[in-house]
Amino acid sequence: MSFKKFIVMLISLILLTLSVNAEENPPVKGIYDQLPEFKFVFDGKKVEVIEFFSFYCSHCYEFEKSIPVIKGNFPKKIQWKNVPVYWGSGSSKPGEAYLLAEEQGKGEQMKKALFDAFFIEKREISDISVLESIGAKLELGFDFSRRLRAGDKEKEANAAVTMMKAYSVEVTPALIIAGNLKVVPEKTHDAFRDNIITILNSILNK
């Protein structure tokens, strides 16, 4: 499913469920905020995890190291969806670059490249020329630059922020697990990772 279809479907679901009281969730271990206006969703096989993150967020950058560990604990049982967001007057361009790369099957490569560019190489990732150079290294082609400059993904990037607000997300990284369990960072990265594993283990092993 494309990110655009995912956004449209999820916003439609948000609008539909905001006025509906969700059924009582089964008990789940771990630390999280239950969002009663949304439904708990688990088909018995896979758990959906939505990750809201910003390419300017140092905690998001550090959390990247934990994601393979989390996924590794539950092979083929997690449907992980990356949702790049930006805050306030920040630029949507890094997120747009990610969405364009994701369409070409290189979302994860772009995610890593953008984090590295900002936190290691100290480059300005809101600069179109910087994003174009990253796209060139990932062999995304001329069309990537054209669409990035044209703002083809701007609406989707803005829709991601709208989605984030609908879930009352105020910090990044933040996860929405199984539709209505909001999980935000603990005091340490390891505690955050371990809490997520506890929640997922509780859901998947019922």
Phi, psi of 87, deg, nearest 5: -110, 140
pLDDT, position 140? 97
Q: Where are the domains of the chain?
A: 28-38+47-204
pLDDT tens-digit series, residues 141-197: 999 999 999 999 999 999 999 999 999 999 999 999 999 999 999 767 789 999 999
Task: State CA 161 to chain mean position distance.
Answer: 11
Distance between CA atoms of 11 and 15, rounded to whole angstroms? Answer: 6
Phi, psi of 182, deg, nearest 5: -95, 125
pLDDT tens-digit series, residues 9-68: 666 666 555 444 444 555 899 999 999 999 999 999 999 999 999 999 999 999 999 999
CATH superfamily, domain 28-38+47-204, is Glutaredoxin (3.40.30.10)
pLDDT, position 101? 98
Using alpha carbons, select from 92, 89, 83 the residue that is nearest to residue 126: 92
Structure tokens at 122: 């100290």
Distance between CA atoms of 57 and 186, rounded to whole angstroms? Answer: 15
Omega prior to 173 cis, within 30 of 0: yes
Q: What is the pTM of this model?
A: 0.86
